[in-house]
């Protein structure tokens, strides 16, 4: 299935080139709620760490206490992180990323907490957070464990959200073809248009005459304006500077 769909890379690059490069789009909160008792305190062993065979996790009977050396955060498992922060996670010059990693190795659904906890406990990076995951996701009412698969009925709300990413999609879902034709200007099995490609009469062909020599050119489309509205509204919100890691 097409779990996540990115609408237009050129529009994304064009829009992000006008904002600080150190920003991290990561939806987060310190209000972990029910996850404290169902995720933080239980200890699990993930066979995926040592086995090639897929199997359920093992639950350890003993519970553990919530860490006091750092504060737990949770949020969306989908995020867009900056290069400086990722280098910090890799090198971990103050050892925080490694300490938190050791804790989350036995944590169910660790992608919903690891990066959130690291960035919000790192003085150098906590004020670089943007509390948004840039995704359009549609939940059932009442919400279930997973969002519902997007269909043509969700198309207009998806476009109006101005988000550059969306999920979830089923395999061969008609809404994917609608996105290709109406947003990306892409025909069946063709290429998404951009500054590197001249599609005059040949949408599906990367023949030499159609390929431009400047493959770094950013040629934004209508989606860039939608994305710019979303980014501007987020960064200009009155509570933006007071909503980092709370």
Distance (Å) of CA 187 to CA 172, 190, 197, 199, 245? 15, 5, 14, 11, 43
Nearest to 235 by CA among 12, 7, 16: 16
Answer whether 164's CB lies under 8 Å from 8's CB. yes
Question: Which are the contacts of 120, defined by CB distance < 8 A and separation ≥ 6?
Answer: 28, 30, 71, 73, 126, 129, 244, 245
**Mean pLDDT of the 140-154 span:** 87
Q: What is the pLDDT of residue 166?
A: 93
Asked if pLDDT for residue 192 goes beyond 80, the answer is no
**Mean pLDDT of the 167-182 span:** 89
Compute the distance between CA of residue 71 and CA of residue 65 in angstroms, rounded to an integer. Answer: 12
Distance (Å) of CA 207 to CA 117, 191, 204, 210? 48, 12, 9, 5
Lowest mean pLDDT of 184-188, 210-214, 237-241, name the range: 210-214
pLDDT tens digit sequence for 97-129: 999 999 999 998 999 999 999 999 999 999 999
pLDDT tens digit sequence for 205-223: 555 555 555 666 667 777 8
Which percentage of the chain shows pLDDT scores above 90?
55
Q: Which 8-state DSSP code applies to residue 36?
A: I
The predicted model scores a pTM of: 0.85
Q: Parallel, antiparallel, or unpaired for β 129-130 and 74-75?
A: unpaired
Element (DSSP H or E) covering residue 24? strand 24-25
């Amino acid at each position: 299935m097409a779990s996540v769909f990115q609408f237009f890379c050129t529009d994304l690059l064009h829009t992000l080139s006008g904002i600080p490069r150190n920003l991290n789009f990561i939806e987060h909160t310190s209000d972990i709620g029910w996850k404290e008792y169902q995720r933080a305190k239980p200890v699990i062993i993930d066979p995926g760490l040592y086995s090639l065979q897929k199997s359920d996790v093992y639950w350890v009977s003993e519970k553990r206490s919530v860490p006091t050396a750092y504060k737990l955060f949770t949020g969306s498992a989908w995020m867009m992180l900056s290069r400086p922060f990722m280098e910090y996670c890799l090198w971990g010059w103050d050892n925080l990323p490694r300490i938190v990693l050791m804790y989350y190795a036995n944590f169910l659904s660790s992608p919903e907490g690891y990066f959130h906890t690291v960035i919000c406990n790192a003085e150098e990076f906590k004020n670089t957070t943007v509390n948004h995951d840039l995704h359009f996701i549609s939940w059932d009412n009442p919400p279930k464990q997973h969002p519902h698969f997007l269909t043509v009925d969700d198309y207009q709300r998806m476009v109006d959200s101005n988000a550059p990413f969306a999920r979830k999609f089923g395999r061969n879902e008609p809404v994917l073809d609608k996105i290709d034709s109406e947003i990306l200007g892409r025909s069946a099995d063709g290429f998404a248009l951009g500054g590197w490609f001249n599609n005059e009469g040949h949408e599906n062909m990367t023949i030499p005459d159609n390929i431009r020599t400047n493959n770094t050119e950013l040629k934004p489309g209508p989606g860039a304006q939608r994305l710019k509205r979303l980014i501007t509204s987020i960064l200009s919100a009155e509570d933006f500077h007071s909503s980092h890691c709370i």
